[in-house]
Amino acid sequence: MRLEGYIVSFRRGQKRYYPRQVLVELKGVTYKDAHKVIGRKVVWIHPGTGEKFVGRIVKMHGRKGRVIAYFERHLPGQAVGGKVLVS
């Protein structure tokens, strides 16, 4: 089952942000379903170069069905608001 979603923002604190960790909102996934996607692979494709950034969903975030994904490399700022594929 493939899901689509988008990157909401980088995971951040009061004074810094974590460019390898992002909040992802998935279409059709609610709070009750979010635990089922933990451990799945996430892919974001750079719109200019076509380069693939691969990550994993590691935990839930909040009660709106959002999840936190850790990527292997830092994501650029253009990734915020971009589409991701979950497989």
pLDDT of residue 82: 96
Ramachandran category for residue 56: left, alpha or beta (phi over 0 → left; psi -120 to 50 → alpha)? beta
The Cα diameter of the chain in Å comes to: 38
Mean pLDDT, the chain, integer: 95
Average pLDDT (15-44) is 95
The string of pLDDT tens digits covering residues 29-43 is 999 999 999 999 999
Q: Which domains, ranges and CATH numbers included, belong to the chain?
A: 3-86 (2.40.10.190)
Judge if pTM exceeds 0.85.
yes
The string of pLDDT tens digits covering residues 56-72 is 999 999 999 999 999 99
Q: What is the CA radius of gyration of the chain?
A: 12
Q: Is the pLDDT of residue 1 over 90?
A: no
